A and B are shown apart, each in its own frame.
Chain A
Amino acid sequence: MNPLIFTTILMTVLLGTMIVMMSSHWLMIWIGFEMNLLAIIPILMKKYNPRTMEASTKYFLTQATASMLLMMAIIINLMHSGQWTITKVFNPTASIIMTSALAMKLGLTPFHFWVPEVTQGISLTSGLILLTWQKLAPMSILYQISPSINLNILLTMAVLSILVGGWGGLNQTQLRKIMAYSSIAHMGWMTAVLVYSPTLTMLNMLIYIMMTLTMFMLFIHSSSTTTLSLSHTWNKTPLTTTLILITLLSMGGLPPLSGFMPKWMIIQELTKNSSIILPTLMAIMALLNLYFYMRLTYSTSLTMFPSTNNMKMKWQFETKRITLLPPLIVMSSLLLPLTPMLSILD
């Protein structure tokens, strides 16, 4: 695509999210969401083939439905409170509709069905933007309306998301689908603690974005989209195998890597609020996630996956230089000792 046009479209995506995050008028927020949606469709369709068309269509339909539901909630809120400012939502019906709309945008269960299919149909870089940047806008709205969210609905959605994210990823070999299910599970963790301490939601979002960025960049570096092609990295760049191991273990939430920090803080916050069975269940279900990350590390770093000799001598193109990768790797694995500082940031 023409670089100028691509830049314009990318800037529109950024502008859309910024408008959502910084507005105080509900209509502007809706406009921001629509701008974001319309501008990201060409980015999702960077490669013009039927697969990406299908993925973009699915994305557009679900997000447009969510925006309409959001508009309805805004209007009901307007009817009952008489004003357009963003504070807490005054009507329980509006609150429930808005939570469902934002859950659809985020990909929480039971609205998670679009995430794996859309992520699989698009290229790795577009998938990266989809799973990280696109989550910022809905999460910021959830943060702002958090005092008025119905706790039962949100917690149900969160726990079901962790369950679905764990179980759904078990049968996958395509890396983009694995990342999609991982995104569903992490969104579940983030929304579980939203009502108790929105700061921790933001912390979890930050660490999740760092880890997902790292994973996607490692995949882009080795141009691999399936487990099989990822298992050839020992041949091309052996160092990448160690980095994939560390980042995957961090995503699974193993101490002493930084992926453990949000889980620990969330469990602490939930326990302080006297819910003890819930964090135990959530932590145990996160082990399902860890299982398919471990399977990826087994095929990539810890064993030499069986492959034919032809595959070991693939064409070596010029090594992609990804500037941001080393600092991201360091941040996504070594941040745990900084927990006291990071968990009180607002």
Chain B
Amino acid sequence: MLKIIIPTIMLMPLTWLSKKNMIWINTTTYSLLISLISLSLLNQPSNNSLNFSLMFFSDPLSAPLLVLTTWLLPLMLMASQHHLSKEPLIRKKLYITMLTMLQTLLIMTFTATELISFYILFEATLVPTLIIITRWGNQTERLNAGLYFLFYTLMGSLPLLVALISIQNLTGSLNFLLIQYWNQALPDSWSNIFLWLACMMAFMVKMPLYGLHLWLPKAHVEAPIAGSMVLAAILLKLGGYGMLRITTMLNPQTSFMAYPFLMLSLWGMIMTSSICLRQTDLKSLIAYSSVSHMALVIVAVLIQTPWSYMGATALMIAHGLTSSMLFCLANSNYERTHSRTMILARGLQTLLPLMAAWWLLASLTNLALPPSINLIGELFVVMSSFSWSNITIILMGTNITITALYSLYMLITTQRGKYTHHINSIKPSFTRENALMALHMTPLLLLSLNPKIILGFTY
């Protein structure tokens, strides 16, 4: 695993020592090379995990997330070039350093064996993200957004620290490799109920669960493009990954403790999808759509069946790529009109036809069109929740319909119709932007040919 971590750390000296006209080229190239290295982890030969050392490992759940993380860094760098072009050189280097630091911490989080090490790195990812949102965001609301983001996550995760330490006292070790053999039923008592809550609340806030999701629209909207991309694509999946790891230790209480959260998620996904239909702010629409998709992942993880785990993993990867692509598209609008209001930039298909093709593909994958991996994820989750309880099919069906509605609403409002008269002087699409969209879309489309690599460890 050091073959990925050390090159990522070394990206920081690379930025500081590069010449002025080479910083973007150097960092993008080398981060693409690092993502190529991480692809080798997808080859998981046995049913168990690939153990590289006592501290790092990778198994069929963390390998796709790791590949997504390393794939996203070059994309983030490409997307940030325009809005940083007018900043002084040192600030550009600082921004790239923050992104690289975040990347290193994320890689270490996804491959950590010891759960306390996972916790420390999970918390550590908050600091660079906070700095990116607060320092480089564009509106005054970014201050509030940063505070909400930091404090919601910290309030949820401090009980997790206490819970992990008390589990360590009980079992003697929190090394994930050992815990999978421990498999003892958690006895039923009030304190174990609180233990369950303490373990799960951190990830519920991160996912986010419907009642605790207030930080997400603020943070996603106010962050600059790289911040939005990494928040939507990776940081939310940290919550899902953590839940998938911790629930192995928390049986059999999950069967009854999960009910309130299942209800909140099932209802919340419909609520947030419906809110999307009434949004005027494009980034806010994509942010609420993220909440809705992640609610599906929460439902899948809490049901705890093999199919639902497959669906959760596939949905996490698919949503990561789709949501990041949608944010890039919204950003390309924002860079031209300097406004996030959807109706200000209508009818773009006439002016930027190639970008309209990317908008179409992104919207279609967002509404889970066959045969994309979004559909595979959603379908597995819908089927497994149907087997858990027949009635959920109504809610799931409603959600899929409303998702289709708002995705098409977003597409039609921005692309179709008559263009507004003030946007016929916008710049045409840069090759960098088209390359960005292509690099998002190609893995999505190719994965639909071989989805078994993202189906997780219950395949």
- What 1/0 flags go to A297-341 for Cβ under 8 Å of B? 010011100000000000000000000000000000000100000
Q: Which of A254, A255, A280, A291 has the most CB of B within 10 A?
A: A255
List chain B residues, Cβ under 8 A from A336.
120
A279 on interface, CB distance cutoff 8 Å: yes
A276 to B191, CA, bound (A): 10
How many Å from the CB of A66 to the closest CB on chain B?
A: 34
Report yes or no: A294 in contact with B150, Cβ–Cβ below 8 A: yes
How many Å from the CB of A289 to the closest CB on chain B?
A: 12
Report yes or no: A256 in contact with B124, Cβ–Cβ below 8 A: yes
How many Å from the CB of B388 to the closest CB on chain A?
A: 32
A301 nearest CB neighbor, chain B only: B135
Could you count the A-B residue pairs with CB atoms below 8 Å apart for me: how many are there? 70
Report yes or no: B134 in contact with A272, Cβ–Cβ below 8 A: no
A128 on interface, CB distance cutoff 8 Å: no
Report yes or no: A283 in contact with B158, Cβ–Cβ below 8 A: yes
Report yes or no: A280 in contact with B162, Cβ–Cβ below 8 A: yes
B405 on interface, CB distance cutoff 8 Å: no
Report yes or no: A256 in contact with B121, Cβ–Cβ below 8 A: yes
A336 to B165, CA, bound (A): 17
A196 on interface, CB distance cutoff 8 Å: no
How many Å from the CB of A301 to the closest CB on chain B?
A: 8
Binds B, one of A51-59, A182-190, A260-268: A260-268
B127 on interface, CB distance cutoff 8 Å: yes
Give the secondary structure class of A's interface: helix
List chain B residues, Cβ under 8 A from A290.
150-151, 154
Q: A271-B165, A294-B150 are in contact. Are A284 and B126 (CB under 8 A)?
A: no
Report yes or no: A298 in contact with B134, Cβ–Cβ below 8 A: yes
Report yes or no: A303 in contact with B143, Cβ–Cβ below 8 A: yes
How many Å from the CB of B253 to the closest CB on chain A?
A: 17
Q: A291-B151, A298-B134, A302-B135 are in contact. Are A280 and B127 (CB under 8 A)?
A: no
How many Å from the CB of B254 to the closest CB on chain A?
A: 21
A203 on interface, CB distance cutoff 8 Å: no
- What 1/0 flags go to B135-179 for Cβ under 8 Å of A? 100000001001100110011001101100110010000000000
Report yes or no: A287 in contact with B155, Cβ–Cβ below 8 A: yes
Q: A271-B166, A272-B169 are in contact. Are A249 and B143 (CB under 8 A)?
A: no
- What 1/0 flags go to B348-367 for Cβ under 8 Å of A? 00000000000000000000
Contacting B154 at CB < 8 Å: which of A245, A287, A298?
A: A287
Report yes or no: A280 in contact with B158, Cβ–Cβ below 8 A: yes
Chain A residues numbered 240-262 whose CB sits less than 8 Å from any CB in chain B:
245, 249, 254-256, 260
Q: A267-B161, A268-B165, A298-B143 are in contact. Are A256 and B154 (CB under 8 A)?
A: no
Contacting B161 at CB < 8 Å: which of A283, A294, A301?
A: A283
B33 on interface, CB distance cutoff 8 Å: no
B212 on interface, CB distance cutoff 8 Å: no
Contacting A254 at CB < 8 Å: which of B126, B143, B161?
A: B126
How many Å from the CB of A207 to the closest CB on chain B?
A: 16
Report yes or no: A294 in contact with B147, Cβ–Cβ below 8 A: yes
List chain A residues, Cβ under 8 A from B119.
255
A29 to B403, CA, bound (A): 73
- What 1/0 flags go to B14-38 for Cβ under 8 Å of A? 0000000000000000000000000
Report yes or no: A280 in contact with B124, Cβ–Cβ below 8 A: no
Chain B residues numbered 334-387 whose CB sits less than 8 Å from any CB in chain A:
none
B89 on interface, CB distance cutoff 8 Å: no
B123 on interface, CB distance cutoff 8 Å: yes
Q: A254-B127, A298-B134 are in contact. Are A284 and B155 (CB under 8 A)?
A: yes
Report yes or no: B154 in contact with A303, Cβ–Cβ below 8 A: no
Q: A280-B158, A280-B159, A287-B158 are in contact. Are A256 and B120 (CB under 8 A)?
A: yes
Q: A254-B126, A256-B124 are in contact. Are A302 and B131 (CB under 8 A)?
A: yes
List chain A residues, Cβ under 8 A from B162.
267, 271, 276, 279-280, 283
How many Å from the CB of A281 to the closest CB on chain B?
A: 10
Q: A271-B162, A276-B166 are in contact. Are A287 and B127 (CB under 8 A)?
A: no
How many Å from the CB of A325 to the closest CB on chain B?
A: 21
How many Å from the CB of A263 to the closest CB on chain B?
A: 9
List chain B residues, Cβ under 8 A from A284.
155, 158
Q: Which of B120, B121, B158, B198 has the most CB of A within 10 A?
A: B158
Using CB atoms and an 8 Å cutoff, list the residues of chain B in contact with chain A.
Answer: 105, 119-121, 123-124, 126-127, 131, 134-135, 143, 146-147, 150-151, 154-155, 158-159, 161-162, 165-166, 169, 191, 198
A-B CB contact pairs (8 Å), 28 listed: A245-B131, A254-B124, A255-B120, A255-B121, A255-B123, A256-B121, A260-B120, A260-B123, A264-B120, A264-B161, A267-B165, A268-B165, A272-B169, A276-B166, A276-B191, A283-B161, A284-B155, A284-B158, A287-B151, A287-B158, A290-B151, A291-B151, A294-B146, A294-B147, A301-B135, A302-B143, A302-B146, A303-B135
Beyond A255-B123, A302-B131: 8 further Cβ-contacts under 8 Å?
Answer: A245-B131, A254-B127, A256-B124, A272-B169, A287-B151, A298-B143, A302-B143, A302-B146
